[in-house]
Amino acid sequence: MSTNREEAVEKKNEGNKFADVGNYRDAIPLYKEAQRLDPTYAIAYFNCGIAFRKIGMLDEAIKELTDAILCDPNDKDSYYWRGKSYKEKGNRQEAIKDFDKAIKLDPTFGDAYFERATVSDISTVEEVHFVVDNYYQKALEYCNYTDVQKALTYYNMGVSYSTNECWGHAYANFCTAVELDPTVPTYFVQKYLMLWGMNDGRPNRDEPVKILTAASKACKEAIGVLKNKAVRTEREEKQLIEAEAHLNKIEAQINALNI
């Protein structure tokens, strides 16, 4: 098979210029041309797959990333992003295979451990402990996370434990999430709910009021930030609605506890 790698690289680089400014639809034809010039050029398929992901075309992304893997079976990133695409399509089993392969290729691939955790079966307490110890903890160990990213990981661990009514473990993880990122109302709410679970619905009155007051403050701050935006994205509009709904529920609970 004849190839023209030099011209293929040029086309790929042209595509990258469009992708770098978010113009993925114009990047895709250039990546396709790079593939035509050199059908063995793995990065052209990989970049094309990522571009398709960016515009929500997951089936096309999976096909391109599969072709990237055929060109380079040892590329951990192709398995990782194909796994994420399968996950977003609801194909958990294929996602698990790809994340496991990415981890096998690079046992320090922190993001792959995190994603592997999110598609794991946590229907028993033993499974939750396994997922936390073998996936979430390794994500924290190997990823250079910011406090915000760490908080999300601890929050996910808390959710995993709470699914199996392991209130103490869940509470400890939600507390850590709150400490790392005290701007997310959901973390405060979950911390409160775990207190409720640990005490059979009858926690000490002062502690829930304190937690809910902090959650109310976080909600108001989030609402203020969102309302001050001159233009809000669709996702931000949804966040605003959710924050306002959280605030109403939280203040109703505070009023009920103060009666």
pLDDT-derived band of residue 204, with 50, 70 and 90 as boundaries? Answer: low
Residue 240 lies in a domain: no
Residue 20 lies in a domain: yes
Residue 36 lies in a domain: yes
Q: How far apart are CA 5 and CA 75, in angstroms?
A: 19
| pLDDT over 60 at 1, yes or no | no
- For residue 111, give the H/E element and its range: helix 110-118
User: Tokens 């959280």 label which residue?
Assistant: 246
Predicted model pTM: 0.80
CA 171 to chain centre: 21
The per-residue pLDDT for range 145-182, each reduced to its tens digit, is 999 999 999 999 999 999 988 988 998 999 999 899 88
pLDDT-derived band of residue 2, with 50, 70 and 90 as boundaries? Answer: low
Residue 46 lies in a domain: yes
Half-sphere exposure of 61 (CA within 13 A, CB side): 23
Residue 141 lies in a domain: no
pLDDT-derived band of residue 257, with 50, 70 and 90 as boundaries? Answer: confident
What is residue 205's predicted lDDT score, i.e. its pLDDT?
58
The per-residue pLDDT for range 39-93, each reduced to its tens digit, is 999 999 999 999 999 999 999 999 999 999 999 999 999 999 999 999 999 999 9
Question: Domain containing 56 — which CATH number?
Answer: 1.25.40.10
- Look up residue 145 and give its DSSP letter: -
Q: How far apart are CA 161 and CA 176, in angstroms?
A: 14
**Alpha carbon of 86 to those of 82, 160, 252: distances in Å?**
6, 21, 40
Q: How far apart are CA 206 and CA 54, in angstroms?
A: 47
What is residue 224's predicted lDDT score, i.e. its pLDDT?
85
Residue 59 lies in a domain: yes
Give the pLDDT mean for 225-248.
Answer: 84
Average pLDDT of the residues of the chain: 90
What is residue 227's predicted lDDT score, i.e. its pLDDT?
87
| pLDDT over 60 at 199, yes or no | no
| pLDDT over 90 at 105, yes or no | yes
For residue 62, count other CB atoms closer than 10 A to its CB. 22
Q: How far apart are CA 13 and CA 31, in angstroms?
A: 9
Residue 71 lies in a domain: yes
Residues with Cβ within 8 Å of residue 33, at least 6 apart in sequence: 11
Residues with Cβ within 8 Å of residue 20, at least 6 apart in sequence: none
Residue 39 lies in a domain: yes
What is residue 245's predicted lDDT score, i.e. its pLDDT?
87
What is residue 95's predicted lDDT score, i.e. its pLDDT?
98
What is residue 3's predicted lDDT score, i.e. its pLDDT?
64
Q: How far apart are CA 132 and CA 109, in angstroms?
A: 16
The per-residue pLDDT for range 10-34, each reduced to its tens digit, is 999 999 999 999 999 999 999 999 9
What is residue 200's predicted lDDT score, i.e. its pLDDT?
54
Query: What is the percentage of the chain residues whose pLDDT exceeds 70?
Result: 93
Domain count, the chain: 1
What is residue 81's predicted lDDT score, i.e. its pLDDT?
98
Q: How far apart are CA 52 and CA 66, in angstroms?
A: 13
Range of the domain at 94: 1-100
Angle between helices 185-198 and 234-258 (to 10 degrees): 40
Half-sphere exposure of 76 (CA within 13 A, CB side): 14
Quick one: tokens of 74?
Answer: 């040892």
